[in-house]
């Protein structure tokens, strides 16, 4: 067995870890570009635990506030701001969009080429500056991955940039920062994390360490998701944050699957939240992969307490898939993408956009273009 595992240099996890951010940043430099969403820094817990301590430090902070869906232009503006202020490092605070933007700004800081050139195939060949990840949602896992998902405005295509040197130097996961997530965002980000965990566990490229991370991530998410969604209490929020972190680590090694292959073009075309599209497609993908993944789904069912250990493999697998479908329903996610605007005439374009990508290659069952067409037609 051979494998190559990339992890951040340091991960700080748990309530209160956000108060250690200033000290961690000061180890890396003095001038900081802080990347966040438009409203992220206004939330009380973020002000108290992140912004006010930073303002009281000796750090020089420059701000780059971004829109919900990051683009190549967003990264270019961040790079220009970072260079004009000669920053030493970049900090991303927020959901996947903020973290992906921060990662790409730091990764391409020394490049003279526009970000769009890299989205269209130019090799990443520059040394990054350090970046620090502070997630405020439990879903994207971007804090522990090497890739950034961005939109190329000229063609509207959402693509992933990646490089092994793009791993965060420090990751700070304070579950308290996720407490303000509204129900809908809790649902979407949680489904994103659950998709990561399941697809990494069943990936063709899975190895023992990533399988262990993914399986435990599924257990944590399954056992705490609905409670986090309905009550927002601290304990399930903390377990969801840990599950998301572990799912991202598994994803970084094992890759995703056909849900991701289809979710990116569909979400980009209709401007839909990524987690929402993942939630709609996940039950269809589980059913498609069942013939190959019955043992995997059964084990996830056993581990998560969905099925008793004395249940047959087939029964346990079926219970797991049924649980995911019922969970999606309980979270208020539509059963079809047709309800979100999917049009039959667009399906072939989405299928063409998904082929050849790493996510489709990692899927446990080989999916032909006809298979992908069928899945989207069923989800219409």
**pLDDT one-digit tens code per residue, 286-310:** 999 999 999 999 999 999 999 999 9
- Calculate what percentage of the chain has a pLDDT beyond 90: 89
pLDDT digits (tens, 9 = 90+) for 89-99: 999 999 999 99
Would residue 82 be called left, alpha or beta, if left means φ above 0 and alpha means ψ between -120 and 50 degrees? alpha
Q: Which two tokens stand for residue 265?
A: 């073009």
pLDDT digits (tens, 9 = 90+) for 114-124: 999 999 999 99
- The predicted model gives 8-30 an average pLDDT of 97
The predicted structure's pLDDT at residue 97: 95
Neighbour count for residue 8 (Cβ, 10 Å): 20
Strands 147-152 and 157-162: antiparallel
Give the dihedral sign, CA 363/364/366/372: negative
- The predicted model gives 213-225 an average pLDDT of 98
| CB distance 60 to 108 below 8 Å | no
Q: Is a pLDDT exceeding 90 seen at residue 156?
A: no
The predicted structure's pLDDT at residue 154: 83
How is 299-317 classified by DSSP, letter by letter? HHHHHHTSS-TTS-HHHHH
* DSSP-assigned letter for residue 71: B
Query: What are the CA-CA distances from residue 380 to residues 210, 220, 336, 337, 343 (Å)?
Result: 33, 31, 6, 5, 7
pLDDT digits (tens, 9 = 90+) for 28-60: 999 999 999 988 888 888 888 999 999 999 999
Q: How confident is the model at residue 157 (pLDDT cuts 50, 70, 90)?
A: confident
Residue 59 backbone phi and psi in degrees, to 5 = -85, 145
The predicted structure's pLDDT at residue 39: 85
Neighbour count for residue 310 (Cβ, 10 Å): 8
Which residues make up the CATH 1.20.1090.10 domain(s) of the chain? Answer: 181-378
Tokens 């498609």 — which residue?
A: 288
- In angstroms, the CA 297 to CA 303 distance is 10
Q: Is a pLDDT exceeding 90 seen at residue 105?
A: yes
The predicted structure's pLDDT at residue 42: 84
- In angstroms, the CA 37 to CA 39 distance is 6
The predicted structure's pLDDT at residue 44: 85
Burial class of residue 119 (count of CB atoms within 10 Å of its CB; 0-12, 13-18, 19+): buried
The predicted structure's pLDDT at residue 250: 97
- The predicted model gives 185-192 an average pLDDT of 97
Mean of the per-residue pLDDT values of the chain: 95
- In angstroms, the CA 124 to CA 310 distance is 51
pLDDT digits (tens, 9 = 90+) for 355-368: 877 889 999 999 99
Global pTM reads 0.96
Diameter over CA atoms, the chain: 63
Which residues make up the CATH 3.40.50.1970 domain(s) of the chain? Answer: 10-177
| CB distance 192 to 278 below 8 Å | yes
- The predicted model gives 302-330 an average pLDDT of 98
Q: Which two tokens stand for residue 286?
A: 């589980």
**Domain 10-177 adopts which CATH fold?**
Rossmann fold (3.40.50)
- In angstroms, the CA 84 to CA 162 distance is 25
The predicted structure's pLDDT at residue 99: 98
The predicted structure's pLDDT at residue 303: 97
- The superfamily CATH assigns to domain 181-378 is Dehydroquinate synthase-like - alpha domain (1.20.1090.10)
Tokens 């190959």 — which residue?
A: 292
Neighbour count for residue 34 (Cβ, 10 Å): 25
pLDDT digits (tens, 9 = 90+) for 277-287: 999 999 999 99
């Amino acid at each position: 067995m051979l494998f190559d595992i990339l992890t951040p240099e340091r991960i700080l996890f748990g309530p209160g870890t956000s108060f250690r951010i200033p000290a961690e940043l000061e180890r890396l430099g003095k001038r900081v570009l802080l990347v966040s969403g438009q409203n992220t820094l206004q939330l009380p817990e973020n002000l108290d635990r992140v912004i006010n301590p930073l303002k009281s430090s000796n750090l020089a902070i420059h701000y780059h506030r971004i829109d919900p869906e990051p683009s190549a232009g967003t990264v270019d503006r961040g790079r220009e701001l970072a260079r004009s202020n000669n920053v030493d490092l970049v900090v991303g605070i927020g959901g996947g969009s903020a973290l992906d933007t921060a990662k790409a700004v730091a990764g391409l800081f020394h490049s003279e080429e526009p970000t769009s050139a890299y989205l269209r195939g130019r090799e990443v060949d520059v040394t990054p500056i350090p970046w620090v990840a502070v997630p405020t949602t439990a879903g994207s896992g971007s804090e522990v991955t090497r890739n950034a998902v961005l939109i190329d405005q000229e063609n509207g295509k959402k693509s992933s940039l990646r490089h092994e040197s793009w791993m965060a130097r420090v990751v700070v996961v304070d579950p308290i920062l996720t407490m303000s997530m509204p129900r809908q965002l809790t649902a979407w980000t949680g489904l994103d994390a659950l998709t990561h965990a399941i697809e990494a566990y069943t990936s063709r490229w899975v190895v023992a360490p990533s399988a262990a991370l993914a399986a435990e991530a599924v257990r944590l998410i399954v056992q705490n998701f609905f409670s986090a969604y309905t009550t927002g209490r601290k304990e399930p929020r903390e377990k969801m944050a840990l599950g998301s972190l572990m799912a991202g680590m598994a994803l970084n090694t094992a890759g995703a699957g056909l849900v991701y292959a289809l979710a990116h073009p569909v979400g980009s075309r209709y401007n839909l939240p990524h987690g929402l599209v993942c939630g709609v497609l996940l039950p269809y993908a589980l059913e498609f992969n069942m013939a190959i993944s019955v043992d995997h789904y059964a084990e996830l069912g056993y581990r998560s307490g969905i099925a008793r250990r004395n249940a047959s493999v087939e029964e346990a697998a079926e219970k797991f898939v049924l649980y995911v479908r019922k969970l999606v329903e309980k979270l208020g996610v539509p059963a079809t993408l047709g309800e979100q605007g999917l049009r039959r005439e667009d399906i072939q374009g989405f299928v063409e956009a998904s082929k050849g990508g790493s996510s489709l290659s990692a899927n446990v069952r080989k999916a032909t273009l006809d298979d992908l067409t069928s899945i989207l037609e069923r989800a219409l």
